[in-house]
Amino acid sequence: MGSNASPERASTVLVVEDEPGVVAFLVRHLQSHPDLQVCATAATGREAVELSRTLQPDVVILDWHLADATGETVLPRLLAQSPGVRVVVYTSDPSASIKRETERLGHRLVLKGSDLATLVAAIRGDQRPD
């Protein structure tokens, strides 16, 4: 299933975020896009790795700072088990080191508070928002 989205099939999205309000906001917003389907949510790195393994989503939205782990440990584990998954790191931490690590692994970083079109474009793999 991972990264096999076609024009007639919605891309599946796993939302990994430990703030319930942010999860609800993201799910509500993504539901308004027919080409994106939230397949599950996870609040911890452990849940993220397990759900990614079993569901094989096309895209993972990953909060960098989770209660049990950071993106530094979770991202490589996600990529090891699902090499084709696209990861969008979604964080409020603008650290240059996070940006470097995300880009080094070939994925995108979107800061919380950015325009939602920027997040959706990153999920779709677009270079620019709608």
Q: What is the pLDDT of residue 127?
A: 59
Residues 52, 85 contacting (CB under 8 angstroms):
yes
pLDDT of residue 126: 83
pLDDT at 7 over 80: no
Please provide the average confidence, as pLDDT, over all residues in the chain: 90
Segment 66-96, tens digit of pLDDT: 999 999 999 999 999 888 999 999 999 999 9
Q: Is the pLDDT of residue 26 over 80?
A: yes
The CATH number that domain 11-124 falls under is 3.40.50.2300
Please tell me the predicted confidence (pLDDT) of residue 67.
92
Contacts of 116 (CB under 8 A, 6+ apart): 29
Tell me how far the alpha carbon of residue 114 is from its chain's centroid.
15
Q: What span, in angstroms and rounded, lies between the C-alpha atoms of 15 and 97?
A: 22
Going from N- to C-terminal start, the domains of the chain cover 11-124
